[in-house]
Amino acid sequence: MNASDLLWPGFAEKVPLPQPDVEGGIPLMQALQRRRTTREISTSDIPLGMVSNLLWAASGINRREDHRRTAPTARNQQEIDVYVSTAKGLYLYEPRNHSLRLHVAADVRAQTGLQEFVAQVPVNLIYVADLARMREVQIENREFYAAVDTGFISQNVYLFCAAFGLATVVRGWLDRATLADTLRLRPEQRIMVAQSVGWPLA
């Protein structure tokens, strides 16, 4: 069985992800040509191997020696956490061991945005900034840099989706207070934007 064929295990406390395949995709210029927002997204699952590659592309570690990531962050504060909302639970992506940790054992997809499709798409990513982690950034600059840093992650996801035939839409239209409750966030944690990912509707 190919890693990309692995299916999502249900509500597991910890989901180790297959090693990311860093060889695949299409040339960068073609990915840029194909990058777009798509809101017509199928309800079909994405195989675990593809989720693994998606998360690594989003914000995984690409330099083991110092744990730096595929997306830059101001002063390398690495303050953006990626939560993954699926039919089989809400998980936190842990880049250091490239795995998912169960955060809420429920399908909370409907709470990840104010558009109808979010309840049915296979994956909603939620980008959460932990401002408390940004010790080397002046307090008045933290939210601004967190927003900039989120943009890089979101664009990585856009390009990954373009390269692998997936549909995606980044979303700022959220009920942040309700979602923050669901995610049990501390006051210093801020929901930046969410991003839905799935197969395009034919």
Binding site for ligand FMN (CB under 6 A): 36-37, 39, 115, 169-173, 193
**CB closer to ligand FMN, 61 vs 193:** 193
**CB closer to ligand FMN, 15 vs 169:** 169
Tell the smallest beta-carbon distance from residue 146 to ligand FMN (Å).
13
The beta-carbon contacts of 25-29 under 8 Å, at least 24 apart in sequence, are 25/160, 25/163, 25/164, 26/162, 26/163, 28/159
Tell the smallest beta-carbon distance from residue 47 to ligand FMN (Å).
25
Q: What residue number has its CB nearest to ligand FMN?
A: 173
**CB closer to ligand FMN, 133 vs 171:** 171
Tell the smallest beta-carbon distance from residue 37 to ligand FMN (Å).
3
Question: What is each CA distance from 148 to 72, 73, 201, in whole angstroms?
Answer: 9, 8, 31
Name the residue type at position 168: T
Name the residue type at position 73: T
Tell the smallest beta-carbon distance from residue 55 to ligand FMN (Å).
20
**CB closer to ligand FMN, 95 vs 113:** 113
Tell the smallest beta-carbon distance from residue 194 to ligand FMN (Å).
8
**CB closer to ligand FMN, 48 vs 125:** 125
Tell the smallest beta-carbon distance from residue 38 to ligand FMN (Å).
8
Residues 69, 155: Cα–Cα separation, whole Å? 14
DSSP 3-state of 155:
helix
**CB closer to ligand FMN, 39 vs 68:** 39
Helices (H), ranges, the chain:
28-34, 48-59, 142-164, 176-182
Q: DSSP of 156-171, one letter per residue?
A: HHHHHHHHHT-EEEEE
**Element holding 14 (H helix, E strand):** strand 14-16
141 CB-near residues (< 8 Å, 6+ apart): 74
